[in-house]
Amino acid sequence: MARWQPDAPGRLAAAALDLFEERGYDSTTVIEIAERAGLTKSTFFRYFPDKREVLFDRGTVTDLLVEGIASAPPAADPLDAVADALDALGRTFFADDRREFSGRRQAVLNANTELREREALKRIDLAASMIEALTRRGVPSLTARVAAKLGMLAWEIAFDQWIDIHNGEGFGPLARQALADVRAAAAVH
């Protein structure tokens, strides 16, 4: 690949994923990732602080969730605002053209403790961002925490279903169904 081609972060992520699958995370270097992407080591570090971060978004997901909550209708209850945010995520970040990459990425994460830990920390940060966004909407702190955590649970359920290549359903509808299931489970006495 020529160095002038666009989307260096995407190319680096794709190269890293290929190499992590071929050689394993621990056996892959930043230099190898950059070379596979047709870029330099310094270009890699312009976008990512280390090889662990190459498979994680650079704020896109957080921005989509926060904007989705902020733009939910004023009368939306906290879980409906979270559902709107998950819909926004499904329309852009979890579009069908990313399904295969996301499934492959998840398999690499599942095979590496360090990456699983990083994923867990990212999800904690995402929940915190949703809590802040809900609080800005006037949702009481405890209610915002519960809604955000339930939203993350729905995300995980929907994501696991969405990356299944045999499932043709979009992420947004899967997340809404997961939230509906969570609501129904909470209503059981």
Q: pLDDT tens digit string along 64-84?
A: 999 999 999 999 999 999 999
DSSP run (H or E) holding 55: none
Q: pLDDT tens digit string along 51-68?
A: 999 998 767 899 999 999
The CATH class, in words, for 56-187 is mainly alpha
Which among 139, 126, 140, 157 is positioned nearest to 64, based on CA atoms?
Answer: 126
Q: What is the pTM of this model?
A: 0.86
CATH topology of domain 8-51: Arc Repressor Mutant, subunit A (1.10.10)
Cα separations (Å) of 31 from 1, 15, 38? 15, 11, 10
Q: From first to last of the 189 residues of the chain, give the pLDDT tens digit.
A: 444 567 899 999 999 999 999 999 999 999 999 999 999 999 999 999 999 999 987 678 999 999 999 999 999 999 999 999 999 998 888 888 889 999 999 999 999 999 999 999 999 999 999 999 999 999 999 999 999 999 999 999 999 999 987 888 999 999 999 999 988 888 775
Domain range summary for the chain, segments of one domain joined by +? 8-51, 56-187
Question: Which residues have a Cβ under 8 Å from the Cβ of 79 and sit 6 or more positions away?
Answer: 147, 150, 151, 179, 182, 183
Question: Which residues have a Cβ under 8 Å from the Cβ of 69 and sit 6 or more positions away?
Answer: 81, 82, 84, 85, 130, 133, 134, 137
